[in-house]
Chain A
């Protein structure tokens, strides 16, 4: 038996999202690191996501993190096909067999998350939702998604956002009361992102690094204007551009047009394990995103001792202290001025000192402790009957409110039917595995 059974303060958490390993990205990283730190604190964490290709079923990751790859196929942009009630049986089975106390969903643009949270609420579990991105209000896609979000969050127990700007955005989109929303910023693994032992000398050449997906959202069009201008003004500046995407062609064209092949190096897609080795080749990190709820990329750069130049959008101003970042409006001339200012500031920067400060400021263990407080708060909330909860859905809109109520009532009836068809007592609980501390080392020794 794990420490779990004895200590009522320890939670049993189910993380749900469409986004998890082997897919790679910010949300996936967040879920993984948060889960590992929560496991270290003594809680039990299980992750549920959809199957990736052949990877289907139960897998165990480091530290005994159990992952359920539920065999529902993704249909667009890694999202599971929305069937409203399709996931109810498997989610119910997982919740009962793992004796879950809190369900934690991630990312607004994840159908698996929304459905799982809805079913968890129907069955009376406490639900926490974390929103990782900023979304608009004006276009058709955003309007529909905001309505779905309103539905899911109408009855969520607590919500978490990664920055104050993100909190404002989420509260406006979903109509959630601000008292229910906590702000817990992301963090960075500072042990993985350390400065270079010896760096290229600043007096010879200044290297500016850009690593991002080369898509519209990440401001590649701005880069296309900024890079030639900077190269013209500062003859000793070089660029390294890592990443791939639809807009890569524009950067290649810019290189050809201004004959910057020797001054702009294009690396293509950079696997995350190699990001640090690319970052330490530079002095300045350039981020030109047009929208960002939080920006982990600049945290990674600051941890490696690079000075950051970024667009002043979304939650970016909240991320780094003023002496580690130079902010600019998302306008080419303003960004060129900011780069000039950064080059001027470079001699005063000490990479190791920056790294040490980042270690103090950002730590995943701190994020886990703050999330634990949110779980404690969520569990203290009262259990509500179906009728009380329905009143919250009615406020969502004239027609939408009634539709949401209908969906919840039908969901409740399905659940009662399932309780008769397959009673909860028939579902066996899974014993907790406790891996001994040196289990991984033993396996490594045996294979060598």
Chain B
């Protein structure tokens, strides 16, 4: 089994060439768990609860403050630590299509299949939000107005995305770009 991988602080990219006959090609992006985020969120939730309890017992505010703070804590934890994603994979089968998988920490896997003849082109795009700008890999799909994001939850760096993009281009039989790129 041949494996090629790149990693940085947050993500690890693994290219699984399990089937060298090119019937299937797998690319995985694995998120590195960072304990600090959990500690931060639980610590702030605890702080909020502690403040509410202090206010109730010592300053004699009403008990509803404690209930509200508990609700707020649950909301905060749900928002920041919701449905943690462990890994996202792309399985490229040149004869059939491309399967996009999302593996969650709980063991649940969500899969999405795109037939090969529906894919017009895989593209690397820059997405701009009000606070940042990042690269994404998307598939332009025939007869659909929306593009299909390959990595729906994770934001791996461009140097990892380029390998997946090249593999997708080769599989969908697209010519390389006529305009030259730097790398």
Contacts and interface: CB of A to CB of B under 8 A. Distances in A.
Nearest to A432: B182
Nearest to B126: A58
B179 A439 contact: yes
A259 to B, nearest CB: 55
Given A428-B135, A428-B157, A428-B158, A90 B130 contact: yes
Interface in A37-75: 56-58, 68-72
B169 to A, nearest CB: 17
Interface string A76-108: 000000000010011001100100000000000
A442 B128 contact: no
A22 interface: no
A433 interface: yes
A422 B131 CA distance: 12
A435 interface: yes
Contacts of A426: 9
B133 to A, nearest CB: 5
Contacts of B180: 433-434, 436
B128 A58 contact: yes
A89 B132 contact: yes
Nearest to A429: B158
Interface of B is mostly: loop
A57 B130 contact: no
Contacts of A436: 178-180
Interface string B157-181: 1110000000000000000001111
B82 interface: no
Contacts of A2: 182
Contacts of A69: 128
Nearest to B8: A426
A347 B23 CA distance: 82
A435 B131 contact: no
A140 interface: no
Contact of B130 (A72, A94, A431): A72
Contacts of B145: none
B128 A439 contact: no
Interface residues of A, number: 28
Interface residues of B, number: 20
B183 interface: yes
Report which residue of B127, B130, B158 has the largest number of chain A beta carbons within 10 angstroms of its beta carbon.
B130
A381 B9 CA distance: 37
B182 A57 contact: no
B129 interface: yes
A97 B182 CA distance: 15
A1 interface: yes
A117 B157 CA distance: 28
B124 to A, nearest CB: 11
Contacts of A435: 179
A439 B178 contact: yes
Report which residue of B131, B158, B181 has the largest number of chain A beta carbons within 10 angstroms of its beta carbon.
B131
Contacts of B135: 428
A97 B128 contact: no
A442 B180 CA distance: 14
Given A90-B133, A93-B133, A428-B158, A433 B128 contact: no
Nearest to B162: A431
A139 B126 CA distance: 44
A71 B129 CA distance: 6
Contact of A90 (B132, B158, B181): B132
A432 B183 CA distance: 9
Interface string B7-33: 001000000000000000000000000
Contacts of A68: 128, 133
Contacts of A86: 130
Contact of A433 (B132, B178, B179): B179
Nearest to A434: B180
Given A69-B128, A428-B158, 5 more contacts: A70-B130, A86-B130, A90-B128, A90-B131, A422-B132
28 contacts: A1-B182, A2-B182, A57-B126, A57-B127, A58-B128, A68-B128, A68-B133, A70-B128, A70-B130, A71-B128, A72-B130, A89-B131, A90-B128, A90-B130, A90-B131, A93-B131, A94-B133, A422-B132, A428-B157, A428-B158, A428-B159, A431-B181, A431-B182, A431-B183, A434-B180, A436-B179, A436-B180, A442-B178
Interface of B: 9, 125-133, 135, 157-159, 178-183
Interface of A: 1-2, 56-58, 68-72, 86, 89-90, 93-94, 97, 422, 426, 428, 430-436, 439, 442
